[in-house]
Amino acid sequence: MRWEELGQQPCSLARTLAVLGDRWTLMILRDCFLGIRRFEQFERRLGITRHVLADRLKKLVEHGVLSRVPYQQRPLREEYRLTESGLDLHPAIMALVSWGDRHMADERGAPVQHRHKACGQLIRPVTVCSECGEPVTARDIEVQVGSGWKADELSPLSIPAAQG
């Protein structure tokens, strides 16, 4: 499968990766969640070329992850803000951060900590069942074909499940 074809795959992960699946896009999203909004701030913090940054921001706007909001009229200047769709990426970003904290941190530990505003405690993300609230892991999940699957396509269930 070619990279350009990911967006047409009958797989939510493939379609998501078609929009978000490169390092610069994920770093831009990280910075958005840290409160960065302006082009020059992204450029300075990331050390990314203007061309690549403009391309990634444009794609995120086109897919409704970010919106451009004016902050100055003369001359017109805009900043980038997370949309509801963008804010919905927070659990995914936090899961990646948590994985990095567990598997990529050095002896000093996590470089950034996250504190829950309501209770004041440091947190780590946990995936829970939306119905019963119990924590779930990969071993607790069973996959089945959903309504978005086309009958003429190879079923994802015909692929052997990963053993773990």
What confidence tens digit (pLDDT) does each residue in 133-164 have? 999 999 999 888 788 777 666 655 555 555 55
- In this structure, are 93 and 67 located in the same domain? no
Instruction: Establish if 157 belongs to a structural domain.
Output: no
How many domains is the chain built from? 2
Instruction: Please say if the pLDDT value at position 130 is more than 60.
Output: yes
Kindly indicate the confidence band of residue 41, based on its pLDDT and cuts at 50, 70 and 90: very high
Q: How far apart are CA 44 and CA 99, in angstroms?
A: 26
- In this structure, are 66 and 2 located in the same domain? yes
pTM for this one?
A: 0.84
Instruction: Please say if the pLDDT value at position 67 is more than 80.
Output: yes
- In this structure, are 8 and 75 located in the same domain? yes
Instruction: Establish if 44 belongs to a structural domain.
Output: yes
The answer, yes or no, to whether the previous bond of 135 is cis (omega within 30 of 0) is: no
| Mean pLDDT value of segment 24-48 | 97
Determine the structural domain holding residue 136 and report its residue range.
89-140
Is the Cβ–Cβ distance between 143 and 137 less than 8 Å? no
- In this structure, are 30 and 94 located in the same domain? no
- In this structure, are 62 and 104 located in the same domain? no
- In this structure, are 11 and 35 located in the same domain? yes
CATH number at residue 78: 1.10.10.10
Residues 6+ apart with CB under 8 A from 144: 157
* DSSP letter, residue 60: H
Note the pLDDT of residue 135: 94
* DSSP letter, residue 57: H
Strand partners, 80: 68
